[in-house]
Structure 1
Amino acid sequence: MQFRIERDSFEEAIKWIYRTVGERSSLPALAGIKLTLSGDVLVLTSTDGNMSSEVTLQVQGQRDGSALVQGKLLRDVASRLPSDAVNVSVDSDRLEIVCARAKYTLRMMQIEDFPQIPTPTEQAGQVILNAKAFSDTVGQVIKAVSSEDVRVALTGVRIELADGVLTGAATDSYRLSVRSIAVNSPDEMAALVTKKAMDQAKSAADALGGEVTMVLTPTHAVFQFSDRRLVTTLLEGKYPAYRQLIPTNAQRHLRIDRAALANVVKRVSVIGEAERTMTPVIFDVQEDTVHVAADSSESGRANESLSAVLSGEPIRIAFNPRFLLEGLDVIHDDMVDFAFNDDLKPAVIRPAKLVDGEEEDKTVTESLYLLMPVRT
């Protein structure tokens, strides 16, 4: 195998694909990155056993072949190469990398031990998405994925396609994030995809733009981009009926500036940052003002007020500050709408423009972040 490639393209591809290298696997070959050259097409492949990545690059090919190289070492070498064309060749059991005056000779791994990457053929459903719409959807819902593996189903993102609408949802039982977009697909499908896979797919969408093709089978999800492909095994388990958690009506609505509220919560919540247990932020919501406070018996007290518009009766309600800030961060609007019932029922945060039917992106049919209150 022998080829020539631009340094930046080589490094960027290896950096992305390294995220699915199985360094901690009991199978040594999973710690490697596979290089396969055919003509002027180089394919880089990695897998951790559950998730696999492929990147296809155009190079100046001179001799076809393949090699398996220790992934971390290849990544570190690529990141340190000087700014020049990279020449790669295989000699016996060594991979040689030459760039300007830098030269590396890397020992190769047993390529026969590298597993075959699954290529799903039974398509349960397919949809082509705008990369930004895909990224925005994943970016909103992934915040609410559970970090605890007690309930495996909650550690993934629920993907649903029905009636021309694609919905992403995630919950850790304390909060719920849902985003739906209109798509041009007659298919129906549903799957539970790992957080790691969704994050990897989002990074590709952000970097490449264009379109994302998503295919779901009973066992795998495939995300196809312009020059790369991600294949992941689906999570098993029954996902909760999350739509039952969303109130169908609300007795109170609060309209408030999203960035201003986030800044106030950040300032007030600093009072509890040194505590071992979470110190909630307390909202005292009045007709045209929200008083935000945090009170700690160990650290002290902080409070600040800001203007808002309340429809309905005043309410006093408390939230986990980190969960609240993450929710405000993923709502894409200058103003947000809080829907409340009482201090023990969940609050639902939505973009104000979407509530008013003025959303500029008409493909967004639903966007909400539901947050359970904290008892005080």
Structure 2
Amino acid sequence: MSHLNSKNLNLPILQNVLLKAEGGMMYLSSTNLEMAVKCYVRGKVDEAGECTIPAKLLFDYVSLLPNETVNLVQDGGNLHITCGRYKTKINGLPASEFPLIPSVQATRSYQLPANEFREGLSRVLFAVASNEARPELTGVCMTFEQSETTGTLVMAATDSYRLAEASVSLPGGVSVPSRVIVPARTLAELSRILSVFRDSVDSPVSVTLHFSDNQLVMSYGQVELTSRLLEGNYPDYRQIIPKQFQTKARLDQGDFVQAVKAASLFSKNGLFDVTLAFDPKDGQLSVRALDATRGENTANCPAEVQGSANTVTVNYRYLLDGLNATSADEVMFQMIDAANPCVITPKEKSDSLYIVMPIKQ
């Protein structure tokens, strides 16, 4: 929780974590005013109490303690910690100064398989815009929809230069279809939480998302995350996804990545351009880059190419982001021509796609 705290000179309390002991539980809360995380651990409570202490200091100190019982004693605004041969006192601030974390009155809830949700997030978060000129693009568009047979969560992110989309099946279905925009920082924190508990024997198999009109609450085992939602309308990205293609190529993901990395060493600084040339006759892809000061490179890799020969120039960084995000051994690269979006999908699955815009010569 310590990394969530902000260094706010006007509100130093935001650098602290709130510890509250009552009813056989120790509750920990942290917030940066945009989102908040709460969690609890079981313990023996002799006397109820609460205090706040610096979050990073607490994390750094506790991570050094042996695997023994930890005793906490509040002394006014300070906290005494003893564990085995270790003893310390941490100065804190009054709990009354800690911001109130509002409760959310949810109007709709959805249950998702935790591992599939975490994997889906890893396939879209990198494509979120970092520039806040268009605030809605700094978040992930999450669409909950119901078909005749199953419920689905479709997540999409774009920065106008590339687009990533991933789908997650919802076994419990979707009772209330909806679309929301969740800040990328919130989903990155959520993904981190799911990753921390991934290898735990008793970690829950599902995560529950609760939504009100402008807030989100994520519940996962002993952890609860609260965040605001982004306002605005997400662009209708579906209209830029090509429906027909002139060239389709089936490639080994590892070979493709290696060829792009080799050519990227000779791409132009600031442009990061590599040219992809598909040859159905020879059954190969050529990845080429040329820089006047460093030289040039051409890397070939085998490809099962259908359709016509084609060439396109793309930003290698965006291309590698999409290729590295897939866990598939083979990918499909589909394109119309050098002026239209290129589509990358896993060969065997239809649960994700990645679009990279070409660099127009």
Q: Distance in 2 between matches of 1:207 and 1:28?
A: 27
2:133 — aligned with what?
A: 150
1:52 has 2:36 as partner: yes
1:173 has 2:160 as partner: yes
Q: 2:143 aligns with which of 131, 152, 160?
A: 160
Q: Distance in 2 between matches of 1:182 and 1:159?
A: 13
Partner-residue secondary structure (3-state), 1:62: coil
2:70 — aligned with what?
A: 86
Contact 1:128 1:213 in 2 (8 A): yes
Query: Unpaired segments of 5 or more residues in structure 1?
Result: 1-16, 355-364
Task: Give the count of matched residue pairs.
Answer: 347
1:280 has 2:273 as partner: yes
Q: CA deviation at 1:182?
A: 2.3
Partner-residue secondary structure (3-state), 1:150: coil
User: Within 5 A, what are the aligned runs for 1:106-117?
Assistant: 106-117=90-101
Q: Over residues 13-32 of structure 1, what are the superposed CA-to-partner deviations in whole Å (9 max), with x where a residue is unaligned?
A: xxxx1232132363222111
Q: CA deviation at 1:329?
A: 1.1
The percentage of counterpart residues that share the same residue type is 29
1:231 has 2:218 as partner: no
Q: 2:79 aligns with which of 95, 103, 118?
A: 95
Structure 1 residues 276 and 25: CA distance shift in structure 2, 3 A: farther
Q: Over residues 30-52 of structure 1, what are the superposed CA-to-partner deviations in whole Å (9 max), with x where a residue is unaligned?
A: 11100011122111000000100
User: Within 5 A, what are the aligned runs for 1:164-243?
Assistant: 164-183=151-170, 184-209=173-198, 210-243=205-238
Q: Distance in 2 between matches of 1:71 and 1:268?
A: 45
Q: Distance in 1 between matches of 2:72 and 2:143?
A: 43
Moved more, 178-187 or 155-164: 178-187
1:67 has 2:54 as partner: no
Partner-residue secondary structure (3-state), 1:268: helix
Q: CA deviation at 1:218?
A: 1.2
| Structure in which a larger fraction of residues adopt helix | 1
Contact 2:272 2:317 in 1 (8 A): no
Q: Over residues 241-270 of structure 1, what are the superposed CA-to-partner deviations in whole Å (9 max), with x where a residue is unaligned?
A: 111111122122111111110111112212
Q: CA deviation at 1:227?
A: 0.7
Q: 2:351 aligns with which of 366, 373, 376?
A: 366
* AA matched with 1:263: Q
2:322 — aligned with what?
A: 327
1:127 — aligned with what?
A: 110
Q: Distance in 2 between matches of 1:324 and 1:352?
A: 17
Q: CA deviation at 1:79?
A: 2.5
Contact 1:154 1:239 in 2 (8 A): yes
Contact 2:260 2:287 in 1 (8 A): yes
Q: CA deviation at 1:137?
A: 1.0
Partner-residue secondary structure (3-state), 1:204: helix
Contact 1:174 1:371 in 2 (8 A): yes
Q: CA deviation at 1:276?
A: 4.0
* AA matched with 1:166: L
Contact 2:165 2:353 in 1 (8 A): yes
1:9 — aligned with what?
A: none
Q: Distance in 2 between matches of 1:58 and 1:350?
A: 45
Q: Over residues 251-298 of structure 1, what are the superposed CA-to-partner deviations in whole Å (9 max), with x where a residue is unaligned?
A: 2211111111011111221224xx641331111110101111111112
User: Within 5 A, what are the aligned runs for 1:348-359?
Assistant: 348-354=343-349
1:76 — aligned with what?
A: 60
Q: What is the TM-score of this pair, normalised by structure 2?
A: 0.92
Partner-residue secondary structure (3-state), 1:112: helix
1:137 has 2:120 as partner: yes
Q: Distance in 2 between matches of 1:78 and 1:23?
A: 21
Contact 1:39 1:62 in 2 (8 A): no
Q: Distance in 1 between matches of 2:229 and 2:4?
A: 15
Partner-residue secondary structure (3-state), 1:67: strand
Query: Unpaired segments of 5 or more residues in structure 2?
Result: 199-204
* AA matched with 2:152: V
